[in-house]
Amino acid sequence: MIIWLDGPFGVGKSTLAAELHRALKGSLVADPERVGDLLRGAMSGHELTQRDYQDCPPWRQVTATLVTSLAAYTGGPVIVPMTVLDPHHATDLLTPLREAGLPVHHLVLHADPDVLQQRITTSDEFPGDPVRSDAVRAYRHRRAADYQKAADSWMHAHGHVIDTSTLAPGQTLQTALAHLHTT
C-alpha cells in the first residue's frame, strides 16, 4: 500500500507521515525530497538543470521506481509526504504505482487559508536557526496560492481530502487511519 500525502507546504504532511509510520506496523517513510537532493547534486551546473526538481522527468521516474521498489521489497505500507502541484507530475508519479498493482491512497491534507497562514507563521522548522526558519516560512507563504490553485483545479477532485483546519495532529491521524481502513 502506498499512502501519498499531498497538500500545501506547512499543512502537516511530515507530522502525519511520522504518526502513520508509528501506527502502521512494517511501514516506512520515503521522502522524495531526498531524491531531489540527489538529482540536484548529480545535475549541478548542467544546462538541463531545473529550478524545481519536480520539473525534471528523472525525479518523477526515480521517485516512482523507489516507492514501488520499497513496497515490493518490504511488503509494508510506504508513506510518501510530498506536495505535487502540477497535475501532469502527479500522473507521472501515481500512475506507475497503480500500474504496479499497488493500492494507492492519495490523501490531500487541507487547511483553510487563514489557518494555513497562521500555522506557517508560527512554525519553527529549524530551532536555533532563525535565518533558515524564516526562509522556509517565506517559501511556504509564497506557495500557498499555488496550492489553492491546484486544489481548486484538480487536486481535491483526485485525492481524498482531509480538512485539518480544526484538527489536532492526533485527530488528523485518526481520520487518515479511518480512511485507510474503509477503502
Instruction: Write down the pLDDT at residue 95.
Output: 97
The predicted model gives 102-109 an average pLDDT of 97
pLDDT at 93 over 80: yes
CB 80 within 8 A of CB 112: no
The predicted model gives 55-81 an average pLDDT of 96
- The sign of the CA dihedral 72, 76, 80, 86 is positive
Instruction: Write down the pLDDT at residue 52.
Output: 86
For residue 78, list its beta bridge partners: 2, 28
Report the chain's mean pLDDT, rounded to a whole number. Answer: 95
CB 159 within 8 A of CB 106: yes
Per residue in 14-51, pLDDT tens? 999 999 999 999 999 999 999 999 999 998 999 998 88
The set of cell numbers assigned to 91 is: 500522473
Instruction: Write down the pLDDT at residue 51.
Output: 81
For residue 161, list its beta bridge partners: 108
Query: In the chain, what is the greatest distance between 2 CA atoms, to the nearest angstrom?
Result: 48
Instruction: Write down the pLDDT at residue 13.
Output: 96
pLDDT at 112 over 80: yes
CB 3 within 8 A of CB 180: yes
For residue 33, report the phi and psi dihedrals to the nearest 5 degrees: -65, -30
Comparing CA positions, the residue from 2, 6, 18 lying closest to residue 109 is: 6
pLDDT at 87 over 90: yes
pLDDT at 142 over 80: yes
- Spatial distance between the Cα atoms of 32 and 3, rounded to a whole number of angstroms: 13
For residue 110, list its beta bridge partners: 163
Q: What percent of the chain has pLDDT over 90?
A: 91
Instruction: Write down the pLDDT at residue 35.
Output: 95
